[in-house]
DNA sequence: ACTTTATATGAGCATATACGCATATAGTTG
DNA sequence: CAACTATATGCGTATATGCTCATATAAAGT
Protein backbone atom coordinates (compact mmCIF):
# COMPACT_ATOMS: atom_id res chain seq x y z
CA UNK A 1 0.00 0.00 0.00
CA UNK A 2 1.10 3.59 -0.56
CA UNK A 3 2.91 5.31 2.30
CA UNK A 4 0.50 8.24 2.43
CA UNK A 5 -3.17 8.30 1.65
CA UNK A 6 -4.18 11.78 0.53
CA UNK A 7 -5.75 13.63 3.43
CA UNK A 8 -9.34 14.79 2.93
CA UNK A 9 -9.98 18.49 2.66
CA UNK A 10 -11.21 18.87 6.23
CA UNK A 11 -8.03 17.29 7.57
CA UNK A 12 -5.88 19.61 5.49
CA UNK A 13 -7.75 22.58 6.89
CA UNK A 14 -7.02 21.39 10.41
CA UNK A 15 -3.33 20.99 9.65
CA UNK A 16 -3.23 24.38 7.97
CA UNK A 17 -4.93 25.97 10.94
CA UNK A 18 -2.42 24.48 13.33
CA UNK A 19 0.45 25.87 11.27
CA UNK A 20 -1.32 29.23 11.13
CA UNK A 21 -1.51 29.38 14.90
CA UNK A 22 2.25 28.86 15.03
CA UNK A 23 2.87 31.46 12.35
CA UNK A 24 3.00 34.55 14.58
CA UNK A 25 6.19 35.80 16.22
CA UNK A 26 4.42 36.88 19.40
CA UNK A 27 2.86 33.46 19.83
CA UNK A 28 6.25 31.84 19.28
CA UNK A 29 7.69 34.13 21.95
CA UNK A 30 4.98 32.99 24.34
CA UNK A 31 5.64 29.34 23.55
CA UNK A 32 9.33 29.95 24.06
CA UNK A 33 8.71 31.59 27.41
CA UNK A 34 6.76 28.50 28.46
CA UNK A 35 9.44 25.97 27.56
CA UNK A 36 10.75 26.03 31.13
CA UNK A 37 7.33 25.55 32.71
CA UNK A 38 4.09 27.32 33.46
CA UNK A 39 3.80 31.09 33.86
CA UNK A 40 0.95 33.47 34.60
CA UNK A 41 -0.16 36.20 32.24
CA UNK A 42 1.69 39.04 33.96
CA UNK A 43 4.94 37.12 33.77
CA UNK A 44 4.33 36.44 30.10
CA UNK A 45 3.58 40.10 29.46
CA UNK A 46 6.94 41.18 30.87
CA UNK A 47 8.78 38.23 29.33
CA UNK A 48 7.54 39.09 25.84
CA UNK A 49 7.27 42.87 26.09
CA UNK A 50 3.76 42.85 24.62
CA UNK A 51 0.68 44.62 25.90
CA UNK A 52 -1.59 42.77 28.30
CA UNK A 53 -4.50 42.78 25.86
CA UNK A 54 -2.46 41.40 23.02
CA UNK A 55 -0.79 38.72 25.12
CA UNK A 56 -4.17 37.64 26.44
CA UNK A 57 -5.58 37.31 22.94
CA UNK A 58 -2.68 35.24 21.71
CA UNK A 59 -2.89 33.00 24.76
CA UNK A 60 -6.53 32.43 23.94
CA UNK A 61 -5.66 31.50 20.35
CA UNK A 62 -2.99 29.04 21.51
CA UNK A 63 -5.33 27.53 24.08
CA UNK A 64 -8.17 27.14 21.61
CA UNK A 65 -5.75 25.22 19.39
CA UNK A 66 -4.95 22.89 22.29
CA UNK A 67 -1.33 23.99 22.21
CA UNK A 68 -1.50 25.54 25.69
CA UNK A 69 -3.68 24.79 28.68
CA UNK A 70 -4.97 27.15 31.41
CA UNK A 71 -5.05 26.79 35.17
CA UNK A 72 -6.70 29.41 37.32
CA UNK A 73 -5.34 30.16 40.77
CA UNK A 74 -7.03 33.06 42.53
CA UNK A 75 -6.68 36.16 40.42
CA UNK A 76 -4.00 34.71 38.25
CA UNK A 77 -4.15 32.36 35.28
CA UNK A 78 -1.23 30.08 34.60
CA UNK A 79 -0.53 28.77 31.12
CA UNK A 80 1.65 25.86 30.11
CA UNK A 81 2.44 23.90 26.98
CA UNK A 82 -0.16 21.16 26.62
CA UNK A 83 0.97 19.59 23.35
CA UNK A 84 4.25 17.67 23.69
CA UNK A 85 4.87 17.80 19.95
CA UNK A 86 5.34 21.58 20.04
CA UNK A 87 8.97 21.60 21.19
CA UNK A 88 9.82 18.97 18.59
CA UNK A 89 8.10 21.01 15.88
CA UNK A 90 10.08 24.11 16.81
CA UNK A 91 13.33 22.19 16.91
CA UNK A 92 12.68 20.73 13.46
CA UNK A 93 11.95 24.12 11.95
CA UNK A 94 14.85 25.82 13.68
CA UNK A 95 17.26 23.12 12.55
CA UNK A 96 16.03 23.37 8.99
CA UNK A 97 16.37 27.15 9.00
CA UNK A 98 19.88 26.97 10.42
CA UNK A 99 20.92 24.78 7.51
CA UNK A 100 19.31 27.11 5.00
CA UNK A 101 20.96 30.15 6.56
CA UNK A 102 24.31 28.42 6.69
CA UNK A 103 24.02 27.65 2.97
CA UNK A 104 23.10 31.24 2.22
CA UNK A 105 26.01 32.53 4.32
CA UNK A 106 28.37 30.26 2.39
CA UNK A 107 27.01 31.63 -0.88
CA UNK A 108 27.55 35.20 0.31
CA UNK A 109 31.15 34.41 1.22
CA UNK A 110 31.80 32.67 -2.07
CA UNK A 111 30.16 35.43 -4.11
CA UNK A 112 31.11 38.48 -2.04
CA UNK B 1 23.11 25.99 31.17
CA UNK B 2 19.48 26.43 30.09
CA UNK B 3 18.18 24.11 27.44
CA UNK B 4 16.95 26.90 25.15
CA UNK B 5 18.40 30.34 24.66
CA UNK B 6 15.64 32.74 23.64
CA UNK B 7 15.70 33.26 19.91
CA UNK B 8 16.26 36.83 18.70
CA UNK B 9 13.40 38.60 17.04
CA UNK B 10 14.70 38.10 13.51
CA UNK B 11 14.92 34.34 14.05
CA UNK B 12 11.37 34.21 15.36
CA UNK B 13 10.19 36.01 12.27
CA UNK B 14 11.89 33.41 10.10
CA UNK B 15 10.28 30.56 12.01
CA UNK B 16 6.91 32.29 11.88
CA UNK B 17 7.25 32.81 8.15
CA UNK B 18 8.03 29.15 7.59
CA UNK B 19 4.93 28.13 9.52
CA UNK B 20 2.90 30.69 7.56
CA UNK B 21 3.99 29.14 4.29
CA UNK B 22 2.73 25.79 5.55
CA UNK B 23 -0.55 27.30 6.75
CA UNK B 24 -2.49 27.08 3.48
CA UNK B 25 -4.54 24.02 2.49
CA UNK B 26 -3.67 24.36 -1.18
CA UNK B 27 0.05 24.43 -0.41
CA UNK B 28 -0.35 21.37 1.80
CA UNK B 29 -2.13 19.63 -1.06
CA UNK B 30 0.79 20.43 -3.33
CA UNK B 31 3.28 19.15 -0.78
CA UNK B 32 1.21 16.02 -0.40
CA UNK B 33 1.14 15.48 -4.15
CA UNK B 34 4.93 15.70 -4.16
CA UNK B 35 5.53 13.12 -1.44
CA UNK B 36 5.94 10.41 -4.07
CA UNK B 37 8.40 12.39 -6.18
CA UNK B 38 8.64 15.26 -8.60
CA UNK B 39 5.75 16.47 -10.76
CA UNK B 40 5.31 19.22 -13.30
CA UNK B 41 2.84 22.06 -12.94
CA UNK B 42 0.13 20.57 -15.14
CA UNK B 43 0.19 17.36 -13.15
CA UNK B 44 -0.07 19.35 -9.93
CA UNK B 45 -2.96 21.36 -11.33
CA UNK B 46 -4.98 18.24 -12.01
CA UNK B 47 -3.85 16.52 -8.81
CA UNK B 48 -5.03 19.41 -6.65
CA UNK B 49 -7.98 20.66 -8.70
CA UNK B 50 -6.77 24.25 -8.52
CA UNK B 51 -6.45 26.78 -11.32
CA UNK B 52 -3.14 26.99 -13.14
CA UNK B 53 -2.53 30.55 -11.95
CA UNK B 54 -3.17 29.76 -8.33
CA UNK B 55 -1.08 26.61 -8.35
CA UNK B 56 1.78 28.49 -9.96
CA UNK B 57 1.67 31.18 -7.30
CA UNK B 58 1.68 28.71 -4.45
CA UNK B 59 4.56 26.81 -6.02
CA UNK B 60 6.48 30.05 -6.15
CA UNK B 61 5.79 30.71 -2.48
CA UNK B 62 6.93 27.21 -1.51
CA UNK B 63 10.04 27.51 -3.64
CA UNK B 64 10.96 30.92 -2.23
CA UNK B 65 10.77 29.35 1.22
CA UNK B 66 13.21 26.63 0.12
CA UNK B 67 10.57 23.99 0.76
CA UNK B 68 10.40 22.98 -2.92
CA UNK B 69 12.93 23.19 -5.72
CA UNK B 70 12.38 23.74 -9.45
CA UNK B 71 13.83 21.95 -12.44
CA UNK B 72 13.07 23.14 -15.93
CA UNK B 73 12.82 20.65 -18.78
CA UNK B 74 11.72 22.12 -22.08
CA UNK B 75 8.36 23.78 -21.65
CA UNK B 76 7.67 22.08 -18.38
CA UNK B 77 8.81 22.83 -14.86
CA UNK B 78 9.15 20.01 -12.38
CA UNK B 79 8.89 20.63 -8.67
CA UNK B 80 10.00 18.41 -5.82
CA UNK B 81 10.33 18.60 -2.06
CA UNK B 82 13.71 20.12 -1.26
CA UNK B 83 13.53 20.22 2.52
CA UNK B 84 13.68 16.75 4.09
CA UNK B 85 12.17 18.00 7.35
CA UNK B 86 8.84 18.71 5.66
CA UNK B 87 7.48 15.14 5.77
CA UNK B 88 8.49 14.86 9.42
CA UNK B 89 6.78 18.16 10.20
CA UNK B 90 3.57 17.00 8.59
CA UNK B 91 3.70 13.66 10.38
CA UNK B 92 4.18 15.37 13.73
CA UNK B 93 1.25 17.70 13.20
CA UNK B 94 -1.01 14.97 11.84
CA UNK B 95 -0.21 12.70 14.76
CA UNK B 96 -0.90 15.44 17.26
CA UNK B 97 -4.21 16.29 15.59
CA UNK B 98 -5.27 12.65 15.55
CA UNK B 99 -4.79 12.49 19.30
CA UNK B 100 -6.72 15.69 19.83
CA UNK B 101 -9.56 14.50 17.62
CA UNK B 102 -9.64 11.12 19.33
CA UNK B 103 -9.97 12.86 22.72
CA UNK B 104 -12.76 15.06 21.38
CA UNK B 105 -14.56 12.05 19.91
CA UNK B 106 -14.32 10.29 23.27
CA UNK B 107 -15.82 13.36 24.94
CA UNK B 108 -18.68 13.42 22.47
CA UNK B 109 -19.41 9.76 23.12
CA UNK B 110 -19.25 10.25 26.88
CA UNK B 111 -21.38 13.39 26.79
CA UNK B 112 -23.75 12.58 23.96
C1' DA C 1 -20.54 46.94 49.31
C1' DC C 2 -16.37 49.37 47.44
C1' DT C 3 -11.74 49.17 45.74
C1' DT C 4 -7.94 46.99 43.80
C1' DT C 5 -5.65 43.63 40.96
C1' DA C 6 -5.36 40.16 37.16
C1' DT C 7 -7.21 38.79 33.03
C1' DA C 8 -10.43 38.87 29.11
C1' DT C 9 -13.07 41.03 25.39
C1' DG C 10 -15.64 44.37 22.11
C1' DA C 11 -14.83 47.76 18.36
C1' DG C 12 -12.27 49.89 14.85
C1' DC C 13 -8.25 50.32 11.91
C1' DA C 14 -4.45 48.77 9.18
C1' DT C 15 -2.22 45.24 6.77
C1' DA C 16 -1.56 40.90 4.53
C1' DT C 17 -2.78 37.52 1.35
C1' DA C 18 -5.59 34.14 -1.38
C1' DC C 19 -8.22 33.97 -5.43
C1' DG C 20 -9.91 34.94 -10.28
C1' DC C 21 -9.27 37.15 -14.62
C1' DA C 22 -6.54 38.56 -18.07
C1' DT C 23 -2.12 38.81 -20.01
C1' DA C 24 2.95 38.18 -20.29
C1' DT C 25 7.00 35.22 -20.86
C1' DA C 26 9.61 31.22 -22.36
C1' DG C 27 10.29 27.36 -25.10
C1' DT C 28 8.76 24.28 -29.02
C1' DT C 29 7.12 23.12 -33.62
C1' DG C 30 5.62 24.07 -38.21
C1' DC D 1 8.58 34.12 -37.91
C1' DA D 2 3.95 32.54 -36.65
C1' DA D 3 1.24 29.47 -33.91
C1' DC D 4 0.97 26.73 -29.99
C1' DT D 5 1.92 25.02 -25.25
C1' DA D 6 3.40 25.36 -20.40
C1' DT D 7 4.16 28.36 -16.86
C1' DA D 8 4.39 32.86 -14.58
C1' DT D 9 2.66 37.44 -13.21
C1' DG D 10 0.06 42.18 -12.81
C1' DC D 11 -4.12 43.81 -10.93
C1' DG D 12 -8.34 44.25 -8.34
C1' DT D 13 -11.23 42.41 -4.73
C1' DA D 14 -12.65 39.97 -0.73
C1' DT D 15 -11.46 38.16 3.59
C1' DA D 16 -8.79 37.36 7.59
C1' DT D 17 -6.20 38.73 11.41
C1' DG D 18 -3.01 41.45 14.41
C1' DC D 19 -2.81 45.57 17.11
C1' DT D 20 -4.54 49.37 20.17
C1' DC D 21 -7.81 51.62 23.18
C1' DA D 22 -11.27 51.31 26.17
C1' DT D 23 -14.04 48.60 28.99
C1' DA D 24 -15.86 44.28 31.02
C1' DT D 25 -15.43 40.33 34.14
C1' DA D 26 -13.69 37.90 38.06
C1' DA D 27 -11.52 37.21 42.39
C1' DA D 28 -9.47 39.18 46.61
C1' DG D 29 -8.90 42.47 50.34
C1' DT D 30 -10.70 46.32 53.43
**pLDDT in the model for residue B67:** 97
HSE-CB of B40 using CA atoms within 13 angstroms: 7
Residues B25, A28, B32: CA angle, nearest 5 degrees: 25
Mean local confidence (pLDDT), B61-78 = 97
Mean local confidence (pLDDT), B95-103 = 81
Question: Are A25 and B13 in contact, with CB atoms under 8 Å apart?
Answer: yes
Distance D14 C1' – A87 CA (angstroms): 36
Distance from C-alpha of A87 to C-alpha of A37, rounded to nearest angstrom: 12
> Mind listing the pLDDT tens digit for each residue in A55-80?
999 999 999 999 999 999 999 999 99
Nearest protein residue to nucleotide C19 (CA to C1' distance) is B54
Using a pLDDT cut of 90, give the percent of chain B over it. Answer: 75
Total Cβ atoms within 10 A of residue B22: 25
- Residue B21, pLDDT above cutoff 50: yes
**pLDDT in the model for residue A6:** 77
Distance from C-alpha of A104 to C-alpha of A106, rounded to nearest angstrom: 5
pLDDT averaged over chain B? 91
Which range among A16-20, A31-35, A103-107 shows the weakest confidence by mean pLDDT? A103-107
**pLDDT in the model for residue B4:** 65
* Chain A residues in contact with chain B using a Cβ-Cβ cutoff of 8 Å: 2-4, 6-7, 9, 11-20, 22-25, 28-29, 32-33, 35-36, 66, 83, 85, 88-90, 92-97, 100-101
**pLDDT in the model for residue A13:** 95
Q: How much is the pTM?
A: 0.91
**pLDDT in the model for residue B40:** 98
Mean local confidence (pLDDT), B90-110 = 80
> Mind listing the pLDDT tens digit for each residue in A29-53?
999 999 999 999 999 999 999 999 9
Question: Are B44 and B79 in contact, with CB atoms under 8 Å apart?
Answer: yes
A7, A92, A101: residue with CB nearest B85: A92
Amino acid sequence: MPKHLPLPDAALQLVAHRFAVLAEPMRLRLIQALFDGERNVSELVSATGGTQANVSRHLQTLTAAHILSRRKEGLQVFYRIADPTIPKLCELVCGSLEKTLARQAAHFEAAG
